[in-house]
Amino acid sequence: MENVYVQTGEVDKLREECGVFGAYDFDGGDVASTIYYGLLALQHRGQESCGIAVSDTKGPKGVVLSSKDMGLVNEAFTPESLEKLKGDIGVGHVRYSTAGSSTRENAQPLVLNYVKGTLGLAHNGNLINAPQLRRELAYTGAIFQTTIDSEVIAYHIARERLNTGSVEEAVGRAMGKIRGAYSLVIMSPRKLIGARDPYGFRPLCIGKRDNTYILASESCALDTIGASFVRDVLPGEIVTISPEKGIESDLSHMIPKEEHARCVFEYIYFARPDSVIDGTGVYHSRIMAGKYLAMDSPVDADIVVGVPESGNCAAMGYSMQSGIPYGIAFMKNAYVGRTFIKPKQKNRESSVQVKLNPIREAVEGKRVIMIDDSIVRGTTSDRIVRMLREAGAKEVHMRVSSPPFLWPCYFGTDVPAREQLIAYNRSVEQISEMIGTDSLDYLKIERLHEIVNGLGICKGCFTGNYPMDPPEEDIRGSYER
């Protein structure tokens, strides 16, 4: 999807930007309900808005039916609204805004009507040259309906299509102009197209159920709808799916494997543990991160606990390696999403405690090792540590299954400016004192390649060494103003 950092002030967690899903039923059946269930499985990737766009490949050319709204998938769609979305090809999207404000206009998929027909586009990622491309388009008469960089991609594909023989060729030409992180699912009148940026920042895979072909951000969405996993879309690859030719592949945009730069936070935090990305299981990666923490940063304790949900697997790995029992120390309120009415401070409600509550019986009188996936600003960590102490924990030792954040991210993860990062200009001991732990340690940076089985990853937010030059204009948050 896009690229702006939005500070909530209350929840000190990284946010991913979006999930994408596409389906094409070669037998002509409606795909809206399949897309709906696929988006439910990808809900963790975006909880601000969602949308579905479908078309009937055997009906009038250029007719696209779409529905999108703010909120969660099961709130935005009803059986009646899905019933109206008649079509055998379609794309869907769940959004968390990293660029462009959180408004209905910025919800995806985007639908463009142009000379050659229609395009439906869903985008996960972030372009670093979006401002320049946007200005160029504006000076040649383009009128923008949104503030998201996904619209820049759609415009470029539409313009290139005027001078090419096929939509997939237009997508390829547009890829030659856009820079940054993107996984795209595109619906044309007769084709479903998937594209992944050459670095492979964001995941995208192909599935099949009977005679329906699927494109999805994560393999867990394929499991949800009973589809089998076919393969991942390769970094730099364009796949075109049609009844006439099945899956066609264009590899002309690929770069050497050693330059690949997958976002390592897909494995540490963003993706669901039941997903497999580029051959490496997310569950395996988190277990291994916990094991390496136990090897490199041991401490005597009575129980190992995880901060739900993403800290749980790493905590299990720590427990397996150390022999210290694994326990559950927090109850998570399953009915609170990432956005909720901010509690009034005069009533002293803690927004953290609305989501998490410690189990006194599990931690009272014990030395606790608490595993979390990251510390961004530290505002949530100190509250969770305090909650454990108030529940009677004798000691609290924190271990983090990622290295310290020292640099911002420009590729779709909302790691903020350096000044807002708790690890910037502070030692581990200083951070430990700030958040109130008895000890603190992070995953060693050299372990990152090991937890993903040697895949090429981006470590820019830890090292400041990005796979491509960062943007000259940092527009994160600018559209909010």
Domain ranges across the chain: 18-260, 276-340+348-480
Which two structure tokens, joined as six digits, stand for 360?
């006194």
pLDDT at 13: 62
Phi/psi at 358 (5° precision): -70, 150
Within 325-457, residue ranges assigned H as helices are: 351-355, 360-363, 379-390, 428-435, 448-451
For 244, other C-beta atoms within 10 Å of its C-beta total 8
Burial class (CB in 10 A: 0-12, 13-18, 19+), 145: exposed
pLDDT at 40: 97
With both helix axes pointing from N to C terminus, report the angle between 428-435 and 379-390 in degrees, rounded to the nearest 10.
60
Task: Tell me which H or E stretch contains 263.
Answer: strand 262-263
Per the CB < 8 A criterion, the answer to whether 362 and 329 are in contact is yes
Please identify, in words, the CATH class of the domain defined by 276-340+348-480: alpha beta
Q: In the prediction, which pLDDT does 341 show?
A: 47
- Look at strands 276-277 and 280-281 and give their pairing: antiparallel
**pTM attached to this predicted model:** 0.91
- What's residue 336's pLDDT? 62
The Cα angle at residue 304 between residues 301 and 307, in degrees rounded to 5 = 135
Q: Quick check: is 461 catalytic?
A: no
Q: Report the chain (481 residues): mean pLDDT per 10 consecutive residues.
A: 35 70 98 98 93 94 91 94 97 76 77 89 92 88 82 92 94 95 95 98 98 98 98 98 97 97 95 97 98 98 94 97 97 65 49 83 98 91 95 98 94 81 95 97 98 97 93 53 24
CATH class as words, domain 18-260: alpha beta
Q: In this predicted structure, what is the pLDDT of residue 173?
A: 96
CB 304 within 8 A of CB 324: yes
β-bridge partners, 331: 357
**pLDDT value of position 102:** 59
In this prediction, residue 481 carries a pLDDT of 24
Per the residue annotation, which of 18, 50, 205, 461 is the catalytic one?
Answer: 18
Provide the residue count of the chain: 481
Q: What is the pLDDT of residue 17?
A: 65
Any idea what DSSP says for residue 38? H
pLDDT of residue 314: 98
CA distance linking residue 428 with residue 275, whole number of Å: 32
